[in-house]
Amino acid sequence: MLVSVLEALTGTGLAASAGLNAYIPLLTMGLLGRYTDVIDLPAGWQWLSNGWVLGILAVLLVVEMVADKVPVVDHINDVVQTAVRPTAGGLAFGAGSSSETVTVTDPGQFFASNQWVPIVAGVLIALGVHGAKSAARPVINTMTAGFGAPVASTAEDATSVVMSVAAILLPVLVILFLLAMVVFWFWLRRRRRSRRAEREAARAAGFRV
């Protein structure tokens, strides 16, 4: 029972990390699986530690990190990543929670054995985190006249790295990360409502003048 809970927390943390940056959790698992004994990738996920795969992930990571730190470009990047991050989240959750394989060689067996559950869970988790990130970025850019984009992006990348490592080494910490994200989401919603109210009040004052 405890093992199942820890595996679920590992998968959840990796999927949430993918919602912030699609390539960091996959690259983290691949590197640790290839060069250390910290993680033992399931047979169907050994491709993550392949040298070519790691090289491609590293290049994509660099492109993502640069694009996400430029105002306006970061918004375009978020639109593109709407498909990429949830996909990476499904892969990360599946590998992290020891799902047997991502290649569906027998669709009937795949669904009957519930191998799809961790993958779908990862997709949904990453999509939720990605949505919160995408909603927060315009608010941050507006509040800081665009200067906050690289700072926010760097913080997100750092969080993704720490969460990926924590999910593998100490999965219990994932709970704290998730709680912090929930708190941030509620703060963001209140901030957006406050800014909307301020704009409406300024518009009303302009009409009276």
For residue range 92-115, list pLDDT tens digits in order.
887 876 543 334 444 455 445 556
Give the closest residue to 68 by CA, choosing from 129, 132, 135, 137. 137
> Which parts of the chain sit beneath pLDDT 50?
99-107, 110-111, 209
Classify the phi-psi angles of 104: left when phi > 0, otherwise alpha if psi is within -120 to 50, otherwise beta. Answer: beta
Q: What pLDDT, on the 0 to 100 scale, is given for residue 102?
A: 39
Cβ 78 vs Cβ 138: under 8 Å: no
Tell me the three state secondary structure of residue 26.
helix
- Tell me what pLDDT residue 59 has: 95
Helix H segments across 21-72? Answer: 23-35, 51-67
Tens of pLDDT, residue by residue over 43-74, are 777 888 899 999 999 999 999 999 888 888 88
118-156 per-residue burial string, b: 16 or more CB within 10 A, e: under 16? bbebbbbbbbbbbbbbbebbeebbeeeeeebbbebbeeb
pLDDT for residue 53: 93
